[in-house]
């Protein structure tokens, strides 16, 4: 695509065309082109409640985190099922993988709860409204039974890679807080 020729026409793009080009630029990793498209977009003014930026930031952070937790649940279930059918050393490695995914799932759930507490948000209210609640509840209940303890997770990861660090509830909460603050700053 010849973006220089297209740049002359940025002002005439419709919202549909602009968004299509912006997502294509993002997929290519072309931040410069994405920034040009954004800068050339006409501005609109909206009147929204003062909670809008906070709610939108929470939606983005909670959606991303929920997808990560659902992925951990899937990996936990997959490793557990594979361990049940494997034998010998393979079964042992798969059980360890399941226990690590279980630990990470539990840590992410606890991190979410800590983040919500710090923002005065009821985590169960956000959880109940989103898809996958039953899957996460089932996975987290099973994970609590078999998960590595924090030190076991660290030791297991060190055996795999010297520089590996296990996420903790606090580190997850801190990451969520940082992402939330970053997004919130864009709306304030």
- Kindly state whether residues 31 and 67 are assigned to the same domain: no
pTM reported for the whole predicted model? 0.83
pLDDT given at position 161? 83
Does residue 31 lie in a domain region?
Answer: yes
Does residue 102 lie in a domain region?
Answer: yes
Distance CA 152, CA 63 (A): 29
pLDDT given at position 2? 57
- Kindly state whether residues 155 and 90 are assigned to the same domain: yes
Does residue 149 lie in a domain region?
Answer: yes
User: Which structural domain range is residue 29 located in?
Assistant: 3-40
- Kindly state whether residues 77 and 144 are assigned to the same domain: yes
- Kindly state whether residues 114 and 153 are assigned to the same domain: yes
Does residue 56 lie in a domain region?
Answer: yes
pLDDT given at position 4? 63
- Kindly state whether residues 142 and 80 are assigned to the same domain: yes
- Kindly state whether residues 34 and 58 are assigned to the same domain: no
pLDDT given at position 8? 75
- Kindly state whether residues 106 and 74 are assigned to the same domain: yes
Does residue 45 lie in a domain region?
Answer: no
Tens of each residue's pLDDT in the chain, 188 residues: 555 666 777 878 889 999 999 999 999 999 999 999 989 898 889 899 999 999 999 999 999 999 999 999 999 999 999 999 999 999 999 999 999 999 999 999 999 999 999 999 998 888 877 889 999 999 999 999 999 999 999 999 988 887 778 899 999 999 999 999 999 998 87
- Kindly state whether residues 77 and 158 are assigned to the same domain: yes
Alpha-helix residue ranges (DSSP H) falling in 45-160:
52-85, 88-118, 123-128, 133-146, 150-160
Own/partner long-range contacts of 67-74 (Cβ < 8 Å, ≥24 apart): 68/108, 69/105, 69/108, 69/109, 69/112, 69/136, 70/132, 70/135, 70/136, 72/101, 72/104, 72/105, 72/108, 72/139, 73/105, 73/135, 73/136, 73/139, 73/140, 73/143
Supply the DSSP symbol for 130: S
Three-state DSSP at 143 gives helix
Does residue 47 lie in a domain region?
Answer: no
- Kindly state whether residues 36 and 59 are assigned to the same domain: no
- Kindly state whether residues 23 and 94 are assigned to the same domain: no
Distance CA 187, CA 180 (A): 11
Count: domains in the chain: 2
**Which residues fall within 8 angstroms of residue 157, CB to CB, at 6 or more apart?**
100, 164, 165, 166
Distance CA 173, CA 116 (A): 8
- Kindly state whether residues 107 and 150 are assigned to the same domain: yes
pLDDT given at position 106? 98
Does residue 126 lie in a domain region?
Answer: yes
- Kindly state whether residues 35 and 64 are assigned to the same domain: no
Residue with tokens 């509830």: 169
pLDDT given at position 73? 97
């Amino acid at each position: 695509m010849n973006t220089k020729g297209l740049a002359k026409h940025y002002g005439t793009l419709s919202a549909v065309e602009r968004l299509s080009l912006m997502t294509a630029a993002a997929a290519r990793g072309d931040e410069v082109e994405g920034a040009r498209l954004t800068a050339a977009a006409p501005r609109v003014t909206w009147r929204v409640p003062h909670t809008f930026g906070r709610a939108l930031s929470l939606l983005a952070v909670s959606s991303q985190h929920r997808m990560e937790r659902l992925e951990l649940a899937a990996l936990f279930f997959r490793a557990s099922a594979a361990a049940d059918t494997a034998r010998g050393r393979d079964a042992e490695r798969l059980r360890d993988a399941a226990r690590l995914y279980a630990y990470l799932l539990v840590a992410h759930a606890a991190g979410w709860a800590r983040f919500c507490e710090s923002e005065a948000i009821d985590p169960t209210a956000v959880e109940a409204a989103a898809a996958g609640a039953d899957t996460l509840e089932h996975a987290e209940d099973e994970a609590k039974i078999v998960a590595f303890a924090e030190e076991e997770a660290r030791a297991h990861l060190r055996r795999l890679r010297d520089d590996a660090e296990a996420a903790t509830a606090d580190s997850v909460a801190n990451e969520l807080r940082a992402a939330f603050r970053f997004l919130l700053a864009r709306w304030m």
